[in-house]
Structure formats: structure tokens, C-alpha cells
Structure 1
């Protein structure tokens, strides 16, 4: 009898303690939807979670929260609060532990917090600039790559083609030159494999069970639930290719005079810090950083340009306006240069609107509150995960006139002589955690767009309509990329 009473007493104590902590936690957090025991709201989250976050904000307010698996999540939806949060030093952290437990074991610089992140970011930006980022040689290299790619398009002689995979391979070569020091042929089996792996591994949901239930992550992967076993295998194959690249670089002596790419620069930095204890400049971090740069520099830029081509076909009047602007500034024969952007406001306005309307990354990479803090009057307790809903900002009728409409003119000044990029266009985030590749992305989008419209009229297959239906994984993609026709400009 004593044991029974003791057991019931323990259970009662556990329940009371749980309820007290639950109430204390709820009182600290912004309002939001209720979930289930243990898993929280995770089972109710939809694939297109950016839409759902916007809907929940309409019900619970511009800053709301919910329990998601083992974590409390605060979602910030309105620009004035996001702007404040972006400047908040206590909201610069990343989640503790691995980004995808059981799949990714080591942190890249994008997953680091505090001094380690700042140091890795500083060295990475310095190294990438030293090996060409932002220099004329890099711009020349991109133009050469575009020239090779357009020759491939011309070889189809106006027949309908799926340009998606070929475009991904072309864009990948630009970041490959910076990270690995070389490019790939379009039929190179390794390049094709890496492109396929990137496309398949990015199919993972934004709110996925592995990230939010790390306690059972390895079991989920082992049983291949939610396709996580397959995703794990793909990511390991991808990183094995990066390891091979690193191994090839390690075979040569690295000094200041022969640093040709990011891997060279990182290895050189490693050699300078070999006596430092607990340094993040090690082979594991190099592998993760190189994978991050190659993946982000390939997939996001290519995906954005795919959306741009769809908008060109869906709204051919803009295709004609951009081509007219090209004729008036550089003509149809001279390759574009980055400085031409200043003389081509409508072209830049089209790029801005494509970034806004597609909102490729609608929800930011998770932040973590490193201390108890506030945004507006909303409390955000330490270690909460924080999400910025950039989709809601890009669709806010208080910021944009008819936000659902695709309208590049919204980015032009009154006399249409200049393209204006407002601070609430946050396609690359903003603040201290802004995407380090933003300028590189704009450069490529401009050069590819102008080069294409100098040479091709882009259209859909006869009788085929261009749908803008979206599907969110980590980024927003076209559900089924259509075949397009590239007819040479006379």
C-alpha cells in the first residue's frame, strides 16, 4: 500500500510541477495556438507554412508563439517588429546543437552564434573577396559562363526545353569557381550528381520533425520516416564530394601567393591557427562551410532566376520593356556589365519585384534568443526560437499597393529614372545576419537576365498556360517547372 501511495504521490508531484512550469512558460510568451502534449503544434503545421504563419498572425497578433516539439517558437510577422528584432543583439543567436540532428553533425558559420560566428564570417568574406568576389575578374568569369550557357540554349533551335536543370548547372559553376577553384562541364557526372542531390535534399519541410524532436531524430532517420533516411543519405553523398575537393587541395602546399579559392584560404587560416585550442578553423568546419557556400550559391540564385523567367513569360509586356531598355543603353551585342545597372532602372525594378513576389525564402533561418528580451511589448524568453515571416512583409498592403499583383513599376521613383529598393524588401534578410552573398546574387541575376533578353524571346509552349502556383520546402519553388521556348532575337 505504501508503494502504491508513493507512486501516486510521485505522479501527482510530476503533474503539478509540469503544470506550474507550463503556466509560467505560457505567461512569458506571446499568445498563440495550443498544441498537443510533447509534440506541441508540430502535427498541425502545413507544407506552405509561410501562408499558415500569416493566417495565425491575423488571429493571434503580429507576434505570436507556439510549442513546436521540444522548442518554443516565436513568429514575428509585421515589418515594424521585424525591423526592431533585426537590430536586437539578443536575437542574433542560432539554435543550439546540430541544424539537422543525426544528419548534420558539425556547424557551418551560418549555424554558429557569438564570437565563433563573427570570426568565421569575417575570415570567409575576406577570403572570398581575395579570390575574386566583387572583382572584375569574377564578373568576366560569370559572363564567360553565361556565353557558354546561351550557346547550349541556342543548340535547341527554338524547340521547347526544360531549362531548369541546365540553368542550375550553369549557376553552380559561378560559385564553384570561388569555392573550389574550378568549374564543371554540363555533362560532368559529378556536377550532375551534386545538382540532383541539392534538388532532392531541399525537399525537406521547413518545420520538420527531426529538427524539432532531436531526441528521436536518429530513430526517425534509421526507420526512414518522413523520407529523412533518404535525405540523410543524400546530404552525406554531397558532403563526401566536398571532402574529396578538400583532400585535393590539401595535397598542395598553400601559401599567400597561391590562394585561388575559399578552400585554399581556409586551409591557410587553419595552418596559422594550428596551436590554438578549441579553434573552429578545422576540417569539419571547412567541409560544412564549403558545402553551405556551394549549395546556397547554386540553388537559391538559380531558383530565383527560374521565377524571373516565369514572370517574363507570364507578363510578356515586361519582357518587351526590359529589351527596349537594353537597346537604349547597351544594345543587343555588347555583353552587360555590373555598372550598367545604374542606367537600367526598369530592369532592376523587375529584379526587385521578382524577389518580392516570389519571396524565395519566406521564413528566415531560425534565430535563438540568447537572453530574455522584448520586441515591442512582447516578451521573448531566453532560448526561444524566433522566425521572421518575410512573406507577410512582402504581402503587407500597408507597405505595398496591391501586393498580390506583379508590378515592377512600384520600385521606380516618380520620373522612373531610378530603381528604389526599400528596407522592407528583405529577400536576403537584413541586419548583421544578412546573407553574405546578396551582392553576388544581384550581380548574377542582372547579368543572366540582360544576356538572355539580348538574345532570346522567351515564351511558353503553344496552348500552355504559365501557373505561378508555389510549393514551399525550405525555399519557395514552382510546383512543376514548364518547358519554355527560346527564340533568337532578330
Structure 2
């Protein structure tokens, strides 16, 4: 028995030693596999949190990343909590990734904590595969449909009338509030064929719930990078689920109202196009009701901020360059007059105004980095390996100021876009305010309509100035959840010509 007991005592020690040995072998194999990759350079990272502490603080995430670019070059990696993120800058590498290898990086990391808990692979932003391709094709088709575009222009013209009446009188709404409302109603018109009054209680609830949901859904949410913090964020995540359920219920009511009306009329919004298809067609297309609702939320969340912040930068730039503002206004009045609303088709008759908006987008686009891309297989860029399912963030801003393709890129000059005729074309990745490649921003078609019509109608009817015209307007900005936000837009004012 003594011999048996001693044998039993040795066994755990042997198993323990064996287990340690197995773990060591696995670690060695893992390290060996790592050495097979030539990964981009990057800074030393703290255990658990990685480089997250170095990415916090003003003026925001984007500028912190630029500091790393200056030190490590156009391709580098940062450890953001549990995720290894590879950043890609420079026209050459952006072109290589988004265009040449675009089909290999359409995947989104929807297994991250917040997207996994709230989105379940649905919608247009965080989905991938056939579901995403189908929804993207449907949205693109709707935005290019002449009946939808015509209805959208009518809605925006009516919306501008409301905006103008508020902007001319001493309204309780700030200029930023008014722009946000116009952007929200514009998207609502495209998606649901519905506009709201500025004081509509349902609209205010929907807009506020979407804003709260957007903050929770932001990629920068710490739980996405440090999932062990989820227990501390449980209440916020539950609140986001409730916000989403409320918005879904409101959208379902609108969908039901449309379903109860005749379907023989013209299909003038995204909901009507969805309802025009049979259940079998929707199932075959991967366009179920939940796909529709999630995509609608995505379009509101991403679109409202994009349109609002882009408009703010356009108005600020027109203040900074008063001669350009005057030239645009003269062109609009000569082509359209003062008594008729500017429409989307007037773009061809006002080329300088259109070129001015593009030049402002080139220099002041709020969008800096693409959402996360993930390669479906191991790929190489710039001589570095990017393993399958790595997280990639790609720069949208620097190519717009590349001196190789833009003469005097730091000089504001709308004329550079007037010089682009049929024989002179820029590379696809030189002007990418909406990204490029397969996963470009699908809302770019209606965004172009909005930015042109809204800006042109403001120019037609208002002088864009500041509270103190003698004081130079500061273009100081900060990186927020969406992109670069101007800090001093509150100084911008619209004045009628008789003031």
C-alpha cells in the first residue's frame, strides 16, 4: 500500500510537469508561427491594455495615430486592448488595399463585443458576405432610381423652406440644430418617405434614441477592446438595446402604414421598394424585415452625423474664403435666379459651385479613417504581412493632400476640379471623402445631392459670415466618435442680404 501511495503522489507531479511542458510547446509553436509573418513595426505595448493609454486625450484618436505614423511610417500596428490593429497610410498602400485587394478585405469584425451583442450580423455597416452585398445593391439601386431622386429633391426643397424660415427669425434652434434637423429629415425622406416638423415629439424621441444608440455603438467603445469590462457596461448596453427596440417599433409602424396603402403608386422611398417585393423575393435577396430595420438605423446613425459635420465644414470654408463665396453666389443667381429653388440637376449649370464643394471636401472632409476591415486570407501590403482576420484601419484623408497628384495641395483652389476634363483623370484613391473600393460609403449618392442642394440654396439666400467678421474664424478641430469636428462653428451666422 505504501508503494501504491507513493506512486499516486508521483502521478500528479508527472501530470503537472507534462502540462507545463505542453503549454511551453504550444507557446513555442505560437511564437514560431508568429515569426513566419513579417508584421509591420509598432511601439511596445502594455499587458492587457496595449497602447490604448497612448491613444487617449485631446485632440483625439486620429492625431494620436498620426504621431505613431510619423515615427513608424505609413504601415504600422498598435495593440488596442485584446486586438492587434494595423494602420495603413499613403496613396500607394491605400490603392493597393482598397482597390487592388478590395474584395479580400470586405469583412467586418462583427464578432467584437458591442456589434456581436447588439447587431447580430445585420445591417449595412457591420455585416459582410451575401447579406451585406444584397443590402448594398438595394441601397445603391434606390439612390440611383430617378423616381426616388425626384421625390427626394421635392422633400429637400420643402425642408429648405422650413430651414430658411427658422434661420431668418430669432429661433430657439441654433444653426447646428437646424442643420441636424434638415439632415435627419432628408434621410427620413429617402428611407421612409416621411418628414417631421421640428417640434414633433415622435421625431425628437427617435432622433435622441438614435443618438444615444450611436454613442454606445461607436467602435471606440472600450468594451470592444477590453471585453472584461462588459459587466461594468451592462446597464448601458441594456439601455442601447431598449433604444433600438423603441426605434424599431416606430419604424415598424411606418412600414405597416405603407403596407396598408395601395402598392400600385410610384416607388419613391426605400421602404416602398422593400414592400414592393414579395416575401419570397425578400428571402431570396436576404432582405428580411430585420435586415431592413437594422440598415435603416445604420443609415440614420452614420448619415446624420456625416451630412451635418460636412455641412458645417462647408459653411466655415465659405466664411474663410469670401471671394469664393461671392463667386459661387453670382454663378447660382445667373444660372437659376433668386426666386427659384436650386435643384440637383443645376449642378451642370453651376460648375464652380460644385467644384468649390469638392475642394472643401478634399481639404476639410471630417472622415479620417475607414471602419475596420478584415482580410479573408493572409495578405501582404508594402512588404508586410497582414494575417487573416487582422483589424485594418485605412487613411482616407492623406491621399487628398498628396503632392504627387495635387498641385499645391495645401492651397484652397476650386479651379483644380474645373481642370479635370475627360482626358485627365485622377487615380481612384486621390479623392475619397466617401472611401473607395467595394466597401465605399453607400450613402455617397444622396450625400452629394444633399450637400450641393443645401449649400447652393443657402448661398442663394444668405450671406455666410460670423458674429464678428473682423475676427478670423478658427478652424481648430477635435476628433470625435465620427471624425473631425470644428470647435468654433457656433461663431458662424447666416444673414439675409437686407440685414
C-alpha offsets along residues 14-59 of structure 1, whole Å, 9 cap, x if unaligned? 3553354246336522222231233332332235232233332232
Inter-CA distance 172–422: structure 2 relative to 1 (3 Å threshold): farther
| Residue aligned with 1:482, SS | helix
Q: Secondary structure at the match of 1:65?
A: strand
Match of 1:78 in 2: 90
Asked whether the 8 Å contact 1:149–1:170 carries over to 2, the reply is: yes
1:42-121 residue pairs with structure 2 within 5 A? 42-46=52-56, 48-87=60-99, 88=101, 89-97=103-111, 100-121=115-136
Find 1:210's aligned residue among 223, 227, 230: 223
> Any gaps of 5 or more consecutive residues in structure 2?
1-8
1:41 to 1:74, Cα distance in 2 relative to 1, 3 A? same
Residue 442 in 1 paired to residue 474 in 2? no
Residue 393 of structure 2 is matched in structure 1 by 387
Which residue is equivalent to 1:172? 184
Q: Give the CA deviation at 1:254.
A: 7.4
1:218-238 deviation per Cα after TM superposition (whole angstroms, max 9, x unaligned): 32422x6xxxx2x76357425
Shift in CA distance, 369/141, structure 1 to aligned 2, threshold 3 Å: same
The CA deviation at 1:203 is: 5.1
Pair 1:281 & 2:287 matched: yes
Q: How far has the Cα of 1:13 moved from its partner?
A: 4.5
Say whether the 8 Å CA contact 1:101–1:217 is kept in structure 2.
no
Residue of structure 1 equivalent to 2:5: none
Q: Map 1:206-355; keep pairs closer than 5 Å.
A: 206-213=219-226, 215-216=227-228, 218-222=230-234, 229=236, 233-234=239-240, 236-250=242-256, 252-253=259-260, 256-257=263-264, 259=267, 261-269=269-277, 271-273=279-281, 280-355=286-361
Q: TM-score w.r.t. structure 1 length?
A: 0.86
The secondary structure found in structure 1 opposite 2:271 is helix
User: Paired residue for 2:3?
Assistant: none
Contact 1:163 1:483 in 2 (8 A): no
The 8 Å contact of residues 179 and 294 in structure 1, kept in 2 or not, is answered as no
Give the drift of 1:370: 0.6
Q: Are the structure 2 counterparts of residues 422 and 487 from structure 1 closer, same or farther at C-alpha, using a change threshold of 3 Å?
A: farther
Alpha-carbon displacement from aligned partner over 1:120-167 (angstroms, at most 9, x marks no partner): 22233334555944x3332222222212211221123xx997200111
1:188 alignment counterpart: 200
Q: Distance in 2 between matches of 1:263 and 1:136?
A: 16
Alpha carbons of 1:254 and 1:419: their partners in 2 closer, same or farther (altered >3 Å)?
Answer: farther
Question: What displacement does 1:108 show?
Answer: 0.7
Kindly tell me: are residues 418 and 340 of structure 1, through their superposed partners in 2, closer, same or farther at Cα, counting changes over 3 Å? farther
1:292-322 residue CA offsets vs partner (Å, 9 max, x unmatched): 1223332211221111111122332322221
Aligned length: 477
Give me the CA root mean square deviation: 3.3
Contact persistence 1:466–1:482 (CA under 8 A): no
Report what 2:487 is aligned to: 479
Q: Secondary structure at the match of 2:79?
A: strand
Instruction: Mark the CA change 1:174 to 1:106 in structure 2 (over 3 Å): closer, same or farther.
Output: same
Distance in 2, Cα, partners of 1:198 & 1:460: 31
Instruction: Select between 76-85 and 373-382 the one with higher mean Cα deviation.
Output: 373-382
In the alignment, does 2:34 pair up with 1:21? Answer: no
d(CA) in 2 for partners of 1:321, 1:232: 52
Give TM-score, length-normalised by structure 2: 0.84
Relative to structure 1, is the Cα distance of residues 275 and 60 closer, same or farther in structure 2, using a 3 angstrom cutoff?
Answer: closer
Cα deviation per residue 1:374-405 (whole Å; 9 max; x = unaligned)? 22422221111111111232344444455445
In 2, the alpha carbon distance for the partners of 1:418 and 1:347 equals 22
Q: How far is 1:118 from its partner?
A: 1.5
Structure index of larger Rg: 2
Is 1:270–1:282's contact at 8 Å kept on the other side of the alignment?
no
